[in-house]
Amino acid sequence: MLLLIEQCLNGLQLGLLLFLLAAGLTLVFGIMDLVNLAHGSLYMVGAYFAATFTALTGSFVAGAVLALGATLLVGMAVEVIAMRRLYGRDHLDHVLGTFGLILFFNELVRLFWGPEGRTVSLPAWLNTAVQILPGMYYPTYRIAIIAVTLAVALFLYLVVMRTRVGMLIRAGASNREMVGALGINIKLLYTLVFGIGAALAGLAGLMQAPILTVSIGMGENILILAFVVIIIGGIGSIRGAFIASVFVGLVDTVGRAFLPELFKLVMSPAAASAAAPAVSSMLIYLLMAIVLVLRPEGLFPAPGR
Amino acid sequence: MTDLLSIRNMVAAALIAALALIPVYCNLSGNFFLLSLFTRIVILALAAVSLNLIMGFGGMVSFGHAAYVGIGGYAVGILAHEGVTSGLVQWPAALAVSALAALLIGALSLRTRGVYFIMITLAFAQMIYYVGVGLSRYGGDDGLTIYRRSQFGGLVDLSNKTVFYYLCLALLLATVYLVWRLVHSRFGMVIQGARSNERRMRAIGFPTFRYRLACFVIAGTICGLAGVLLANHSDFVSPANMHWTRSGDLIVMAVLGGMGSVLGPLFGAVAFLVFEELLPVLLDLVARPFVGHPILGKYAAHAGEYWQIVFGPLLLLVVLYARGGIDGMLASLRRA
């Protein structure tokens, strides 16, 4: 039972991290109608920045803040230099152009940081465990991740639903031309949205940095997960992205933890330990395929699309 | 179309002639690396031609086409591992499994449109990728070595590099001809019509879903054949062949070559792999004067390793400024 709770917390944490990636992706998708495969590269860049700035400043928090700002700038630069030219093109063009950007960023990172991975160590006050239930300890850092991502999600919700910029973002998602015709500087809005998306991806990357090794190509697998999330949630919907990311995080983590046991009930132990990892990796793709077959527009399609 | 001697046709003819002469050159010069490279080019061109059939003509952007390369390869690998080395069993089995997989994936995926289609094909390819990783009896993550290439009872010897190359080239040219006939047939017209306006095609009485599905299965089967050849060429299959970036490579080849024509992907595959080999050499040459430089020196010494820094933006430029790909550029030369 304790194991189940712990795995659910892990799943929640993965899901919330996915939400940070998916939120930027779905905003860019919903507003600029752009498929951005290079979103995972920004996640990677954020993690590398965090590693460098943490080493420079000697403090993880200062490093993280600096990395966040740096990723925001990189994102806005990418938008101004490259992405801007892809708006209004075919989705295939987006896939191809941003695929080129992935190659570019991977090699650029190899050039600057070298081929070997980086590790980021946590400050002592985060590197502890808290007793959350009698007899059950959970790492402080993971709780911090859950708290930060929930706060970001709430902040994002308030910005999008309650502020003027958020109103423009929503208006841009449902009718771009009209927003432009009303005299809004749509180019600036796009750069801003892309930058925010990049910063969110960078935040996810830098928060993962102490848990995983920072390495080249780290953004690619999680990017695919983020795409699964926004497809399940419905493109352009932040609410859909939130629900879907928590769902995907839970299914993935809990599936990996308990499928082997479940399989052992019906198969020989050898067959179960061979089949279970593969099946649990496939689980979320299966989920996505089922959702798309039943609801080809995702669970919560954004209005006006 | 009527101008048989257009620059585009001449270049295509020259390319095919050059491909046919490669083994002659390699045997004379003893440069078998080149033969191996071009065998790979021809095989990947076959896969790209099949992708172009659904993507360029059918408007179905499959981001999971590498899955069939893997399925075809694993069919050969698994049968060989279990002692069935006859190509007469292996090849039909591989094609049948690829076709079946394409039928299942297509039947489900073709219910969606646009980005959702791109992503659902990616999802299925990922599932098949993880099946490959999970096949622990057949090497799992590490892949499976094939100790004996497909046997054809002494009829053709696939371990002879020249013979194998010509077999691949012949299959490629046969496929190009087949796809060309297909695209210009009534079937092909329906497929292209469904790309431009599916609702209208349905309104005039074509069951477009079935047509598109048939097209999807044909493409998957051809790509499975490419997988069979690739497995025989590298004597090895692994899940890495099915990684989503491999599917991306196939899209790059098709678009780089030009999706509007049957031969486009052939140009694209040649350009892609030649770039992959030449760009590092070129970068090394450019960087050589800087090797002793106090700051730039350590980068310049390995400049070739970073070729993708150039290749990535190049792709972006192709997308932005050369929409018809190589084929489009060749076609526009005639008008100029």
- Interface residue A81 vs chain B (CB under 8 A): no
Whether B311 sits inside 8 A of A298 (CB atoms) is: no
In terms of average pLDDT, the best of A40-49, B26-35, B320-329 is A40-49
Please tell me the predicted confidence (pLDDT) of residue B180.
Answer: 94
Cα gap A189→A167, rounded to integer Å: 11
Q: Is the pLDDT of residue B149 over 80?
A: yes
Q: Is the pLDDT of residue B170 over 90?
A: yes
Banded model confidence at residue B49, pLDDT cuts 50, 70, 90? very high
Whether A235 sits inside 8 A of B115 (CB atoms) is: yes
Q: What are A139's strand-pairing partners?
A: A129
Residues of B in contact with A33 (CB under 8 A): none
Please tell me the predicted confidence (pLDDT) of residue B235.
Answer: 93
For chain A, percent helix, then strand, then coil, each to nearest 5?
Answer: 75, 5, 20
**pTM (2 decimals)?**
0.89
Cα gap A49→A47, rounded to integer Å: 5
User: Cα Rg for chain A, rounded, in angstroms?
Assistant: 20
- Interface residue A296 vs chain B (CB under 8 A): yes
| Mean pLDDT, range A109-120, rounded to an integer | 87
Which sign does the torsion angle of CA B274, B275, B278, B280 carry? negative
Whether A282 sits inside 8 A of B137 (CB atoms) is: no
Beta strands per DSSP E along chain B: 144-145, 236-237
Say what the ipTM of the complex is: 0.84
Of B63, B122, B134, the CB nearest to A274: B134
| Mean pLDDT, range A155-181, rounded to an integer | 85
Residue (of B97, B122, B135) closest to B220 by Cα position:
B97
**CA B4 → CA A171, A235, B8, B12, B135, distances in Å?**
53, 47, 9, 11, 51
Of B55, B108, B313, the CB nearest to A104: B313
Do B170 and B158 meet the contact criterion of CB atoms below 8 Å apart? Answer: no
Percent of chain B whose predicted confidence (pLDDT) is above 90: 57
Cα gap B171→A140, rounded to integer Å: 60
Calculate the average pLDDT of chain B: 90
For B187, residues 6+ apart whose C-beta sits below 8 A from its C-beta are B211, B214, B215
Please tell me the predicted confidence (pLDDT) of residue B2.
Answer: 55
| Mean pLDDT, range A127-154, rounded to an integer | 88
Do A25 and A36 meet the contact criterion of CB atoms below 8 Å apart? Answer: yes
Interface probe for B, chosen from A29, A285, A286, A305 (most Cβ of B below 10 Å), is A285
DSSP state of B289: G
Compute the nearest-CA separation of B88 from chain A (Å). Answer: 31
A14-57 tens-digit pLDDT: 999 999 999 989 888 888 888 899 999 999 999 999 999 999 99
Please tell me the predicted confidence (pLDDT) of residue B190.
Answer: 94
Q: What are B86's strand-pairing partners?
A: B151
- Interface residue A100 vs chain B (CB under 8 A): yes
Compute the nearest-CA separation of B133 from chain A (Å). Answer: 7
- Structure tokens of A248? 């995907």
Whether A103 sits inside 8 A of B131 (CB atoms) is: no
Interface probe for B, chosen from A32, A113, A282 (most Cβ of B below 10 Å), is A282
Q: Which of A187-191, A270-274, B67-71, B220-224 has the lowest mean pLDDT?
A: A270-274
Of B108, B133, B255, the CB nearest to A278: B133
Please tell me the predicted confidence (pLDDT) of residue B334.
Answer: 59
A277-303 tens-digit pLDDT: 778 888 888 888 888 888 888 888 766
B50-87 tens-digit pLDDT: 999 999 999 999 999 999 999 999 999 999 999 898 99
Residues of B in contact with A97 (CB under 8 A): 315-316, 319-320
- Interface residue A101 vs chain B (CB under 8 A): yes
| Mean pLDDT, range B292-302, rounded to an integer | 75
Distance from the Cα of residue A138 to its chain's centroid: 23
Whether A103 sits inside 8 A of B312 (CB atoms) is: yes
Residues of B in contact with A282 (CB under 8 A): 126-127, 130-131
Cα gap A83→A146, rounded to integer Å: 31
Q: How many CA atoms lie within 13 A of A66 on its CB side?
A: 16
Of B61, B109, B306, the CB nearest to A91: B61
Q: Which residue of chain B has the CA closest to A100?
A: B312
User: Cα Rg for chain B, rounded, in angstroms?
Assistant: 21
